[in-house]
Amino acid sequence: MLDANRYKCCYCGAYVSVCPTCSSMELMETWIEVSQGCKDCSVCTKICPVGALEAEV
Amino acid sequence: MRCDVVVVGAGPGGSMAAKAAAMAGLDVIMLEKRQEIGDPVRCAEGVSKASLKEFLPSIDPRWIAADVKGAKLYAPDGTCLTMSEDKAGAEVGYVLERKVFDRSLAAEAAKSGARIMVKTRATGLLFKDGKICGVKTIRFGEALDIESHIVIGADGVESKVGRWAGIDTTLKPKDISTCAQFLVEDKSIDSNYCEFYFGNRIAPGGYIWVFPKGDNLANVGIGIVGSKSEPGLPTKLITNFVQERFPKGKAVEMVVGGDPVAGVMETTTADGVMLVGDAAHHTDALTGGGILNAMRAGVIAGEVAAKAIAAGDVTKAGLKEYEDRWRAAISRNLERSYEYKEFLLKLTDEDLNKLLGPLAAEDISKMDLRGMIRLMFKLNPKLLWELRQLVV
Ligand SMILES: Cc1cc2nc3c(=O)[nH]c(=O)nc-3n(C[C@H](O)[C@H](O)[C@H](O)COP(=O)(O)OP(=O)(O)OC[C@H]3O[C@@H](n4cnc5c(N)ncnc54)[C@H](O)[C@@H]3O)c2cc1C
């Protein structure tokens, strides 16, 4: 699963737009949610402008 | 709860759609998941004066942080080209205060009769007999269904309305610009010009901007295509740039965001649904500018919603006028910008110097972007051969 560092996150929502599974990522104000639907494709990790998303190994 | 049209998202696209639909006599609800419209900002806030005035003939001075004379373009080797404000494209002219601007647009929609619901997040579409008939929301933590004839998805880069309606709006990494920006305070900021810096070392597959905001402040930001990015790269690169360009500068705010640079979508409508603005990839792929296109599409969507409801046909076919009108207005430019972007991605810094350098000896002050590209083509036919069909 994806690891979202909420202390780094600047809650821009960019990652949602590249996520191939529409329902697995969501931004609510300053809260980023990654659900079980995440396919670990890591596309969003490259997009995050602050490096707050990491694929868990 | 019931209404004629639900608009999801209270950015410039949503507010203009809500206002246009309400002015046409519809019962409109505009939802915004945040508690404050316009905040946090995800924008460099540049717009062309002439185009903004097309939508808003009376400009409220509180929206404008700076009124610039033009743009300065810097090649990787430091060569500087100066363009006048009215020729430099849709992002140069005024630098807005979007926290104020976005709220004003929403307030205008409210004055026209639209209901605004903040801290209300659309979580899915409602269906009845297989047809879309509104949105499911969470409002202050409670579920609330809102039935409507039409849903306008103005939910920005993170749009889900389209995907819920079966329109694939997922962006490929090469079709999103990942951005970071500081609001920098520094005495050396030139309040007359928006600056653009190019080069693969400082901004691979993108550019850096410095947009003045008055009082020695400027939005200093970077956008790079996702396919050339890596985790946190935009923030690292813009931090380096600020240290080099404004060694004594102080960052007083930080902005991050994603910007579609994806070209024209095949469809932006489904039965009962229209997408506008970033949700419909209406952003210019070359510049990343999307405020004005979102507003333009919003107005069209609001007007078409009224006609379709009056005609009793909110199917995709009934909403065709929306597709036709926004495409007639902006799709040619979007397509062209996408091809320019794709081409520019292939250029080395040496190529960029070769392209921009010779322009320094020409008078380009009154030339628009197309005129400049035409001139570049004349001066560098070999390098720009791929773009020849766009230059004519
Ligand atoms: C760093 C950066 C710099 C930019 N600089 C410029 C520039 O200088 N000039 C320019 O013209 N453009 C610029 N842009 C692009 C510009 O910001 C966008 O094109 C513009 O904001 C699009 O307007 P919109 O109404 O489509 O979407 P947005 O302004 O993004 O508004 C969408 C709204 O929908 C809300 N929302 C999302 N999901 C939901 C949901 N499920 N329920 C309820 N609400 C929801 C969001 O919270 C948001 O408020 C920039 C973008 C970035 C990221």
Average pLDDT, chain A: 89
A48 and B232 in contact by Cβ < 8 A? yes
Reply yes or no on whether the pLDDT at B90 is more than 70.
Answer: no
**Mean pLDDT within B302-318:** 98
Q: Which of B121, B176, B254 sits opposite A18 (nearest CB)?
A: B176
Helix (H, G, I), strand (E, B) or coil at B35: coil
Residues of chain A neighbouring B257 (CB-CB closer than 8 A): 12-14, 49
Q: How far does the centroid of ligand 1 lie from the alpha carbon of residue B96, in Å?
A: 14
Average pLDDT, chain B: 93
Region label for B12, one of left (φ > 0), alpha (ψ between -120 and 50) or beta (otherwise): alpha
Q: Which two tokens stand for residue B312?
A: 């009793």
B172 and A46 in contact by Cβ < 8 A? no
pLDDT band (50, 70, 90) for residue B382: confident
**Mean pLDDT within B16-20:** 98
Residue B153 confidence (pLDDT): 98
CATH number of the domain where residue A26 is located: 3.30.70.20
Return the H-helix or E-strand segment holding B343: helix B332-344
Reply yes or no on whether the pLDDT at B387 is more than 70.
Answer: no
Q: What is the DSSP string of A1-57?
A: -EEE-TTT-----HHHHH-SSTTSEEEETTEEEE-TT-----HHHHH-TT--EEE--
Share of chain B above pLDDT 70, in %: 97
| CA dist list (Å): B170 to B95, B161, B162, B280 | 30, 11, 9, 11
A19 and B170 in contact by Cβ < 8 A? yes
Contacts of B370 (CB under 8 A, 6+ apart): none
Reply yes or no on whether the pLDDT at A45 is more than 70.
Answer: yes
**Mean pLDDT within B232-252:** 97
Q: How far does the centroid of ligand 1 lie from the alpha carbon of residue A53, in Å?
A: 21
Task: Print the SS3 string covering A6-22.
Answer: CCCCCCCCHHHHHCCCC
Reply yes or no on whether the pLDDT at A32 is more than 70.
Answer: yes
Helix (H, G, I), strand (E, B) or coil at B27: coil
Residues, chain B, total? 392
- Rg over alpha carbons for chain B, rounded to the nearest Å, is 21
Residues B152, B14 contacting (CB under 8 angstroms): yes
A45 to chain B, closest Cα gap in Å = 6
Q: How far does the centroid of ligand 1 lie from the alpha carbon of residue B342, in Å?
A: 23
Contacts of B364 (CB under 8 A, 6+ apart): B81, B82, B83, B371, B372, B375
Domain range enclosing A31: 2-55
Reply yes or no on whether the pLDDT at B71 is more than 80.
Answer: yes
Reply yes or no on whether the pLDDT at B372 is more than 80.
Answer: no
Residue B365 confidence (pLDDT): 72
Residues, chain A, total? 57
**Mean pLDDT within B316-337:** 97
A13 and B173 in contact by Cβ < 8 A? no
Residue B174 confidence (pLDDT): 96
Chain segment B278-309, per-residue pLDDT in tens: 999 999 999 999 999 999 999 999 999 999 99
Q: Does the beta carbon of B44 lie inside 6 Å of ligand 1?
A: yes
Residues B176, B261 contacting (CB under 8 angstroms): yes
**Mean pLDDT within B150-159:** 97
Chain segment B192-212, per-residue pLDDT in tens: 999 999 999 999 999 999 999
Residues B67, B61 contacting (CB under 8 angstroms): no
Tally of domains in chain A: 1
pLDDT band (50, 70, 90) for residue B162: very high
Tell me, what's the ipTM? 0.94
| Across B6-10, B328-332, B355-359, least confident range | B355-359
Residue B390 confidence (pLDDT): 64
- Torsion, Cα B19 B21 B26 B28, to 10 degrees, reads -60
Reply yes or no on whether the pLDDT at B392 is more than 70.
Answer: no
More confident residue, A27 or B316: B316
Which residue has 């003045």 as its token pair? B212
**Mean pLDDT within B341-353:** 92
Burial B116-151 (b: 16+ CB within 10 A, else e): bbbbbbbeebbeeeeebbbbbbebeeeeeebebbbb
B391 to chain A, closest Cα gap in Å = 32
Share of chain A above pLDDT 90, in %: 53
| Across B178-182, B213-217, B366-370, least confident range | B366-370
Residue A23 confidence (pLDDT): 74
Q: Does the beta carbon of B8 lie inside 6 Å of ligand 1?
A: yes
Share of chain B above pLDDT 90, in %: 83
B166 touches chain A (CB under 8 A): no
Q: Does the beta carbon of B19 lie inside 6 Å of ligand 1?
A: no
Chain segment B35-64, per-residue pLDDT in tens: 999 999 999 999 999 999 998 989 999 999
